[in-house]
């Protein structure tokens, strides 16, 4: 099958790749680019494990064709920390024990980041509503919600 | 937190960051679908579209000619497996049935039953080629419901199966009832006759899935030297090794299983599905092969837990539970082995009563072979029993928790098996629940109600093996073989830090592959923190013994003259001589070489544990939707090693229970086709569906464990089903006996009741 050339900005760096038109962004990230931090839970838009941020919007990468991201800005879990400097959300997930098996965690961190990037003081109800597209089967969500709130406080302090 | 008779610990009870945490929040951790060995190709499984059919023929010739195909495997490639039973820790399997479940040979027994597999250069090519395999079926009538399957004229899944009765006899007629058993104490008929009040009801629960977010995935490489390497998602690498060895008839020594990080299991990742198939595809293609399921395959082709029909007749006398007669019918799925026995052994655990009679039926149906799911067998049985207890208490106008306290089991109470309980925390849990601010707060408003229920799980023991190596800088490698599903690296490292009196940060836990450590049973049955914890404790003691003798050598005294306290070795003969753990660690080379300790054991003395849950709900009579307003889960955990992960286990179990109670079910059409095999239609709770869950930890130490641990993970899924049903009964005045309490069911029954 002919492969298409795609240029994008991936975690802040210009990047191009070749892919088949039928390949999803999730598949290309994992199989072609070796970025396996983005997870597959359902491959049809129902679990959020594959969440990435595309031009500032949270999307399920399993429901985006890789050819569609031409010219767009893509953030994945691999780009969230800077070197050994964790993002406040990542630290908060650790401190609150907001992961058990951890398979949903990259998706939750990306979804939470997309929320806090635009609504840094979202309340519990808003957080729950926003995260309803991400399934976690281990934690019962309690500690995830607390972690997001903790990250809000930490980010506020950093910006103060 | 209610704590009873607990020693002062330094590390245990604190909340450090887990050792594998950073990798997991940065996307670096490698799960089963992640490794890409050089030259890897992709496999795809062809599955049965029929729920019950005889396989007449399989023609792979067209698929073989598909461009890019590198190998095809069917059941004919498996050696004939032995007809013998092997214990996997959270349930036993018959190896021939296991093999048949992995790739069907003569018959397909459920829709989604695997038939053949193809390897090709890309997943898309493998899928296209799999569609070209021609299978001719003789379609048979399926039976997908436990009561239908038990009828004498039911279509038989296996014409040669006879019911296994007590004492090892078999029924005369062939049957779908694979096994019948009974438990008896006292005289249930007489006990019911002399009761002040008797309630009799029949309860139905649907098949539900563990719903782990990571689908099964296995990558296998059949190497040129005849060894096999398998990277897989499992709760027990050694159990995978044993099963693959049996199915492929090759010695375990030739198989190396590398357990990847596991994206949830809850019991569902104990049986194997993909591993031997990936191995054979690798052998045929000469390349490593990655075989991954999609979500539909997970729903249709892996083991969920049983749908059940349970009848209970229970009598109360003098304000206590007095006599119970129950019949438990559990769907085993395509092959025998439902957890009905555990259901029978747990449902009355919270009670001390004289007269008991329980009958159990293990029944095969044309649905996927069930596997363990968190406290296997217990939630459905507790749903039935705790609903009846609630009705007894309410009718007698006794507070439902007080009624449970009046009847509570305690140390010495005989279980239905006749074995008396050791020290248990049932009463402490009930008392904590009764005085909790949630329970003492009023619940008001129309269509609002409160429910309570209790639950029990045995908790696990079994085999564990660990090695502890002391590094010259005073850090310690903890090599263990239990896969870490929810923070056991942390809970084991903490127990070792406590034993060795060194900081938690000094310990590096490593989950080893099957070539690198002795056998470890599965992570399941809430056994890892308990049993591997015991092994860690013993290995730590071994290290202290070894280091004491090293210090003795340096001080020219006998090891008996060395004591160890708070991280410092002291010479009892000369109080000026002392060495810290770190200082002595640096002396390894001078005192006899590297310092290490180890322990291998079969853990005994696992401590059973109880939970009591309180839930407030609001039912919308217009839409039938039930909203969880407030949830409190009280549980005896023995000792909470890492309280945050204990709370997390409890909260996670509760939310799975909420899903089971309100929404989750396998829906089948009359042809045995599952109608809701996606996360859209199989509705698991989201963050929006649940409130914060208050996990209240009670600590009644387990006398059988050095740190009093009982195990946590199973108990919290047991009470929610009944607690929610009891709350809905309180809110609506209508007793629901069928799960899930979906909006449709609520509307139908409430309107029908008007
Ligand atoms: S894998 Fe994309 S939403 Fe589930
Ligand atoms: S931590 Fe396992 S699915 Fe969320």
Question: Chain A residue with minimal CA distance to B682?
Answer: A46
A155: pLDDT confidence band, cut at 50, 70 and 90? very high
> pTM, whole model, 2 decimals?
0.96
Interhelix angle A142-159/A105-118, nearest 10 degrees? 40
CATH of A4-79, one of 1.10.10.10, 3.40.710.10, 3.30.1490.20, 3.10.20.30: 3.10.20.30
| Ligand 2 lined by A103 (C-beta under 6 Å) | yes
Separation between Cα atoms, residue B637 and residue B144, nearest integer Å: 38
pLDDT at B481: 85
CB A86, CB B7: distance < 8 Å: no
Mean pLDDT of chain A: 97
H or E segment and range at residue B594: none
pLDDT at B4: 58
What is the pLDDT averaged over residues A7-18? Answer: 97
Record: contact A101-B688, CB cut-off 8 A: no
- Within 8 A of B213 by CB-CB distance, chain A residues are 39, 41, 47, 49, 101, 103-104, 135-137
Separation between Cα atoms, residue A58 and residue A78, nearest integer Å: 15
pLDDT at B90: 47
pLDDT at B482: 83
In terms of Cα–Cα distance, which of B366, B336, B411 is closest to B96? Answer: B336
| Ligand 2 lined by A136 (C-beta under 6 Å) | yes
Token pair recorded at residue B258: 């590398």
Q: Count A/B contacts: CB-CB distance under 8 Å.
A: 185
- Residue intervals of chain A classified under CATH 3.10.20.30 are 4-79
- Within 8 A of A43 by CB-CB distance, chain B residues are 294-295
pLDDT at B487: 79
Q: How far is CA B565 from CA B208, B430, B500, B570, B618, in A?
A: 51, 39, 9, 8, 56
Distance from CA of A135 to the nearest CA of B (A): 6
- Residue intervals of chain A classified under CATH 1.10.150.120 are 88-159
Separation between Cα atoms, residue B88 and residue B528, nearest integer Å: 15
Question: Chain B residue with minimal CA distance to A138?
Answer: B652
H or E segment and range at residue B556: none
- Within 8 A of A103 by CB-CB distance, chain B residues are 31, 212-214, 261, 263-264
- Within 8 A of B261 by CB-CB distance, chain A residues are 101-103
pLDDT at B638: 95
**Whether A103 contacts chain B with CB within 8 A:** yes
Question: Chain B residue with minimal CA distance to A135?
Answer: B686
CA B125, B131, B132, B134: dihedral to nearest 10 degrees?
Answer: 150
Record: contact B687-A41, CB cut-off 8 A: no
Decide if domain B377-459+607-752 falls under CATH 3.40.50.1980. no
pLDDT at B82: 65
Q: For ligand 1, what atom is nearest to the CA of residue A63?
A: 2
- Within 8 A of B20 by CB-CB distance, chain A residues are 102
φ, ψ for residue B596 (rounded to 5)?
Answer: -150, 155
Q: For ligand 1, what atom is nearest to the CA of residue A62?
A: 2
* Residue A30 Ramachandran class (φ > 0 left, ψ -120 to 50 alpha, else beta): alpha
Cα-to-centroid distance, A104 and ligand 2 (Å): 5
Task: Give the strand order in the sheet containing B228-232.
Answer: B69-74, B114-120, B41-47, B289-292, B217-222, B228-232, B255-259
pLDDT at B89: 52
**Whether A119 contacts chain B with CB within 8 A:** no
Separation between Cα atoms, residue B330 and residue A129, nearest integer Å: 37
**What percent of chain A has pLDDT above 90?**
96
Task: Give the strand order in the sheet containing B308-317.
Answer: B170-174, B162-164, B177-185, B355-364, B320-333, B308-317, B197-205
- Within 8 A of B684 by CB-CB distance, chain A residues are 135, 137
pLDDT at B92: 61
Of residues B124, B215, B264, nearest to A138 (C-beta): B264
pLDDT at B261: 95
Domain ranges of chain B: 2-28+461-603, 377-459+607-752
Residue A31 DSSP SS3: helix
Record: contact A97-B654, CB cut-off 8 A: no
Decide if domain B2-28+461-603 falls under CATH 3.30.365.10. yes
CB count within 10 Å of CB B173 equals 10
Record: contact A137-B213, CB cut-off 8 A: yes
What lies within 8 Å, CB to CB, of B576 at 6+ separation is none
What lies within 8 Å, CB to CB, of B626 at 6+ separation is B617, B618, B619, B620, B662, B724, B728, B741, B743, B746
| Ligand 2 lined by B24 (C-beta under 6 Å) | no
**Whether A78 contacts chain B with CB within 8 A:** yes
* H helix runs in B198-259, sequence order: 237-248
Hey, whose CA ends up nearest to atom 4 of ligand 2? A136
pLDDT at B524: 67
Q: Write out residues 50-69 of A within 8 Å (CB-CB) of B.
A: none
Q: What is the CATH number of domain A88-159?
A: 1.10.150.120
In terms of Cα–Cα distance, which of A126, A49, B410, B607 is closest to A152? Answer: A126
Record: contact B295-A44, CB cut-off 8 A: yes
Q: What is the complex's ipTM, to 2 decimals?
A: 0.98
10-residue mean pLDDT profile of chain B (754 residues): values are: 72 96 97 96 98 98 96 93 63 79 97 98 96 98 97 96 91 96 97 98 98 98 97 93 93 96 94 97 98 98 97 98 98 97 98 97 98 96 98 98 98 94 97 98 96 93 90 96 83 96 96 90 73 92 97 96 96 95 95 94 87 98 96 97 96 98 97 96 97 97 93 95 98 97 95 65
């Amino acid at each position: 099958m002919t492969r298409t050339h795609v240029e994008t900005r991936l975690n802040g760096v210009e990047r191009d790749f070749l892919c088949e038109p039928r390949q999803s962004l999730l598949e290309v990230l994992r199989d072609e680019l070796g970025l396996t931090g983005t997870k597959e839970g359902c491959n049809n838009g129902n679990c959020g494990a594959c969440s990435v941020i595309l031009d500032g919007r949270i999307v399920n990468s399993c429901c985006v064709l890789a050819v569609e991201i031409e010219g767009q800005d893509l953030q994945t879990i691999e780009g969230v920390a800077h070197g050994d400097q964790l993002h406040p959300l990542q630290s908060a997930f650790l401190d609150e024990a907001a992961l058990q098996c951890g398979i949903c965690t990259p998706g939750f961190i990306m979804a939470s980041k997309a929320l806090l990037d635009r609504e840094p003081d979202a309340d519990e109800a808003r957080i729950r509503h926003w995260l309803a597209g991400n399934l976690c089967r281990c934690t019962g969500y309690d500690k995830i919600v607390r972690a997001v709130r903790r990250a809000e406080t930490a980010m506020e302090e950093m910006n103060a | 937190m209610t704590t009873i008779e607990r020693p002062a610990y330094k590390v245990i009870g604190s909340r450090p960051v887990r050792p594998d945490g950073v990798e997991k929040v940065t996307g670096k951790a490698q799960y089963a679908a992640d490794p890409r060995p050089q030259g890897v190709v992709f496999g795809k499984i062809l599955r049965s579209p029929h729920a019950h059919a005889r396989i007449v023929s399989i023609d792979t010739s067209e698929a073989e000619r598909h461009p890019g195909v590198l190998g095809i495997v069917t059941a004919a490639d498996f050696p004939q497996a032995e007809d013998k039973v092997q214990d996997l820790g959270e349930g036993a399997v018959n190896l021939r049935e296991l093999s048949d479940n992995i790739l069907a040979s003569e018959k397909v027994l459920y829709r989604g039953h695997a038939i053949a597999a193809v390897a090709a250069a890309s997943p898309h090519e493998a899928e296209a080629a799999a569609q070209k395999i021609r299978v001719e079926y003789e379609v048979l009538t399926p039976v997908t419901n436990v009561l239908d399957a038990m009828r004498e004229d039911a279509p038989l899944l296996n014409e040669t199966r006879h019911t296994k009765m007590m004492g090892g006899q078999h029924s005369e007629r062939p049957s779908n009832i694979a096994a019948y058993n009974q438990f008896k104490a006292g005289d249930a008929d007489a006990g019911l006759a002399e009761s002040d009040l008797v309630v009799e009801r029949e309860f139905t629960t649907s098949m539900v899935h563990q719903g782990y977010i990571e689908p099964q995935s296995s990558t296998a490489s059949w190497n040129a030297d005849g060894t096999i390497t398998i990277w897989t998602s499992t709760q027990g690498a050694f159990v995978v090794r044993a099963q693959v060895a049996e199915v492929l008839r090759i010695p375990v020594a030739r198989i190396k299983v590398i357990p990847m990080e596991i994206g949830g299991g809850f019991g569902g990742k104990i049986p194997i599905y993909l591993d031997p198939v990936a191995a054979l595809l690798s052998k045929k293609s000469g390349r490593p092969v990655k075989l991954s399921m999609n979500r539909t395959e997970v729903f249709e082709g892996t083991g969920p837990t049983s749908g059940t029909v349970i009848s209970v007749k229970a009598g109360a006398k003098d304000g206590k539970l007095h006599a119970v007669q129950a019949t438990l019918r559990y769907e085993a799925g395509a092959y025998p082995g439902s957890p009905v026995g555990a259901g029978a052994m747990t449902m009355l655990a919270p009670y001390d009563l004289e007269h008991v009679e329980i009958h159990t039926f293990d029944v095969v149906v044309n649905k996927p072979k069930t596997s363990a799911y968190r406290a296997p067998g217990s939630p459905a049985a507790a749903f039935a029993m705790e609903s009846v207890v609630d009705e007894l208490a309410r009718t007698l106008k006794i507070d439902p928790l007080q009624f449970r306290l009046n009847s509570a089991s305690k140390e010495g109470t005989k279980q239905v098996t006749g074995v008396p309980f050791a020290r248990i925390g049932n009463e402490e849990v009930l008392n904590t629940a009764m005085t909790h601010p949630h329970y003492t707060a009023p619940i008001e408003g129309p269509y609002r109600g409160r429910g309570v229920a209790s639950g029990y799980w045995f908790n696990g023991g079994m085999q564990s093996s660990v090695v502890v190596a002391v590094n010259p800088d005073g850090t310690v490698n903890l090599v263990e073989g239990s896969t870490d599903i929810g923070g056991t690296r942390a809970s084991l490292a903490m127990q070792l830090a406590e034993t060795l009196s060194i900081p938690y940060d000094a310990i590096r836990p490593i989950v080893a592959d099957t070539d690198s450590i002795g056998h470890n049973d599965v992570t399941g049955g809430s056994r890892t923190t308990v049993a591997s914890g015991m092994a860690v404790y013993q290995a730590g003691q071994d290290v202290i013994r070894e280091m004491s003798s090293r210090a003795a050598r340096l001080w020219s005294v006998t090891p008996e003259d060395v004591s160890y306290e708070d991280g410092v070795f002291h010479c009892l003969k000369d109080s000026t001589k002392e060495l810290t753990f770190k200082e002595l660690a640096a002396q390894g080379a001078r005192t006899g070489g590297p310092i290490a300790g180890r322990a291998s054991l079969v853990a005994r003395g696992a401590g059973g544990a109880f939970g009591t849950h309180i839930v407030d709900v609001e039912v919308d009579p217009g839409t039938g939707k039930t909203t969880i307003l407030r949830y409190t889960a009280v549980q005896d955990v023995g000792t909470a090693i890492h309280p945050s992960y204990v709370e997390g286990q409890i909260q996670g179990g509760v939310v799975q229970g909420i899903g089971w109670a309100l929404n989750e079910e396998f829906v089948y059409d009359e042809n045995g086709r599952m109608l809701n095999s996606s996360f859209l239609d199989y509705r698991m709770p989201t963050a929006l569906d649940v409130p914060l869950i208050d996990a209240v930890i009670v600590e009644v130490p387990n006398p059988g464990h050095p740190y009093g641990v009982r195990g946590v993970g199973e108990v919290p899924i047991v009470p929610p089903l009944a607690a929610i049903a009891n709350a809905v009964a309180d809110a609506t005045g209508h007793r629901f006996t069928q799960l899930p309490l979906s909006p449709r069911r609520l509307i139908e029954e409430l309107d029908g009741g008007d």
